[in-house]
Amino acid sequence: MKSVLQDTGRRGELSRRRFLRAALAAAGGAVALQPRLSLGAERTDVARWAFLSDTHISVNPENRYRGFYPYRNLQTVVAQMASDLPEGLVVAGDLARLTGRAGDYETFKTLLAPITEQRPTYMTIGNHDSRRNFLRAFEYLEDGASARWRKHVIAADTGPVRLVLLDSLLFSNTSWGLVGGAQRTWLRNHLRRFDDKPTLLFIHHDVGPGTSLLDVGHLWDIIIGARQVKAVVHGHSHGFGFRRFEGLHVINLPASGYNLHDGDPVGWVQAQLTPDHGRFVLHSIGGNARLDGYTTTLRWRT
């Protein structure tokens, strides 16, 4: 997999094999999937969406890391989006700072309100999120049942393309992620059923070499042969870049909270999506400001 801009990955402290045994033992029960099916814009030729990731919002507005203030960064990002509202917004996980406290999500909701009150907004769950607190904050839970292994899955028809959001959270505040067998089965069946429209797949964890997504190989087995899947969009690395694998585009969204390497931008991406291509524009609000305005057009595989 070749990168246009260098991506960076993160690895946990535990060995992959040891952690995988523990994870599969913990997740031995069935996963109760609750996919949310949504209808977006009626226009079929083009859709303009905003893509955001790794906001890392804390209940404390003065929380700071590597010289960045995630709260202030998200204020800036939201102001930029609100000045020219996109048709919708996707946030690719790690909404919360570290462990997904309830107050983190209330703060995040308040900051994002200028967008969410006017446009559809879909979110994946990252490794620094709490599934229970996230689902409660956004009123996805209808009862008091444990949400530990309930996956948050969304399929949204935006007009020219379909967006599918997966849940890769395994344990909060560890780098490892897992899609899981039940969610993979749902994805395989969904793609077989809806094979008539270009599809973008969103997941928090990176899907390239050195990934911390434990079942990434099984995920690729599903999507490589599903020709309607045109791109996989992820966050997690706090980097920014574009790659191709088996003709499928892999889009690494920048973090809006903070970068991990000085050469990476901090910001968000505006996407213009059509049935045969996507045009992506980086809005850098910090970090490597020289990349602000970086634009690329990706032709979908056929």
DSSP conformational letter for 301:
P
* Residue 214 domain-assigned (yes or no): yes
Q: How many domains does the chain have?
A: 1
Up-side HSE of residue 20: CA atoms within 13 Å toward CB?
A: 10
Owning domain of residue 218: 26-299
Give the Å distances, CA to CA, from 274 to 44, 138, 249, 293, 299. 8, 30, 15, 20, 10
Give the Å distances, CA to CA, from 114 to 9, 87, 183, 185, 282. 32, 13, 32, 36, 21
Q: What is the pLDDT of residues 1-54, one digit of tens each?
A: 323 333 333 333 345 555 455 444 434 333 445 555 565 545 679 999 999 999
Q: Is 155 exposed, middle or buried (0-12, 13-18, 19+ CB in 10 A)?
A: buried
How big is the CA angle at 259 (ends 203 and 280), to the nearest 5 degrees?
A: 55
* Residue 128 domain-assigned (yes or no): yes
Are the beta carbons of 165 and 154 closer than 8 angstroms?
Answer: yes
* Residue 19 domain-assigned (yes or no): no
Average pLDDT over residues 59-70: 97
The domain spanning residue 78 has which CATH number? 3.60.21.10
* Residue 4 domain-assigned (yes or no): no
269: which 2 tokens? 């991406």
* Residue 7 domain-assigned (yes or no): no
Q: What is the pLDDT of residues 185-204, one digit of tens each?
A: 999 999 999 988 999 999 99
Are the beta carbons of 243 and 7 closer than 8 angstroms?
Answer: yes
